[in-house]
Amino acid sequence: MRTLRLFNTMGRQVVDFVALRPPQVGVYTCGPTVYRFAHIGNFRTYLMADLWIRTLEYFGYRVTQVQNITDVGHLVDDSDSGADKVLAAAAAERKSPEEIAAFYTQAFLDDSDLLRIRRPDHMPRATAYVPKMIELVQRLEELGYTYRIGGSVFYDVSRRAEYPKLSRNKISDLRGGYRIAVDSNKRNPADFLLWKEAGPRRLQVWDSPWGLGFPGWHIECSAMSLDHFPGGIDIHTGGVDLVFPHHEDEIAQSEPVHGGQVVSYWIHGEHLLMGGRKMAKSAGNIERVSNLVEQGHDPLAFRFLTMSTRYRSKLRYTQESLEAAERGLNSMRQRAARLDPATPLLSPPGQRFQQRFEAALAADLDLPQVPPLIQELLHSSVPSGEQRWLLGDWDRVLQIGLLEEAAPVNQPPPPEAVLELSARRDQARSSRQWQVADDLRSEIEKLGYSVVDAPAGTRLIRA
Beta carbons of 46 and 306 less than 8 angstroms apart? no
pLDDT score of 174: 63
- Whole-angstrom CA distances from 372 to 367, 375, 407 are 10, 5, 21
SS (H, E, C) 221-264: HHHHHHHHCCCCEEEEEEEHHHHHHHHHHHHHHHHHHHCCCCEE
- Specify the pairing of strand 13-16 against strand 5-8: antiparallel
Beta carbons of 20 and 377 less than 8 angstroms apart? no
pLDDT score of 3: 93
pLDDT score of 284: 72
pLDDT score of 437: 86
Rounded-to-integer distance, Cα 170 and Cα 126, Å:
30
Rounded (5°) CA angle 230-44-326: 140
pLDDT beneath 50: ranges in the chain: 79-81, 176-180, 455
The DSSP code sequence of 69-88 is BB-S--BS-SSTTPPBHHHH
Which backbone phi and psi does 264 adopt, to 5 degrees?
Answer: -80, -40
pLDDT score of 452: 66
Which residues, 6 or more positions from 162, have their beta carbon under 8 angstroms from its beta carbon?
none
Residues in the chain: 463
Helices vs. strands in the chain: H and E counts, helices first: 14, 15
Rounded-to-integer distance, Cα 280 and Cα 286, Å:
6
Cβ-count burial of 202 within 10 angstroms (0-12 exposed, 13-18 middle, 19+ buried)? middle
Which three-class secondary structure state does DSSP give residue 198?
A: coil
Can you list the pairs that 361-365 forms with residues at least 24 positions away whose Cβ atoms lie under 8 Å? 361/4, 361/55, 361/58, 361/59, 361/397, 362/2, 362/3, 362/4, 362/5, 362/59, 363/5, 364/5, 364/6, 364/7, 364/14, 364/310, 364/312, 365/6, 365/48, 365/51, 365/52, 365/55, 365/310, 365/311
* Dihedral class, residue 364 (left if φ above 0, else alpha if ψ from -120 to 50, else beta): left
pLDDT score of 450: 74
The DSSP code sequence of 37-76 is ---HHHHHHHHHHHHHHHHHHHTT-EEEEEE-BB-S--BS
Rounded-to-integer distance, Cα 252 and Cα 176, Å:
20
DSSP state, residue 413: P
Rounded-to-integer distance, Cα 197 and Cα 214, Å:
7
Beta bridge partners of 214: 196
- Whole-angstrom CA distances from 422 to 295, 416, 428, 447 are 18, 10, 10, 12
pLDDT score of 314: 97
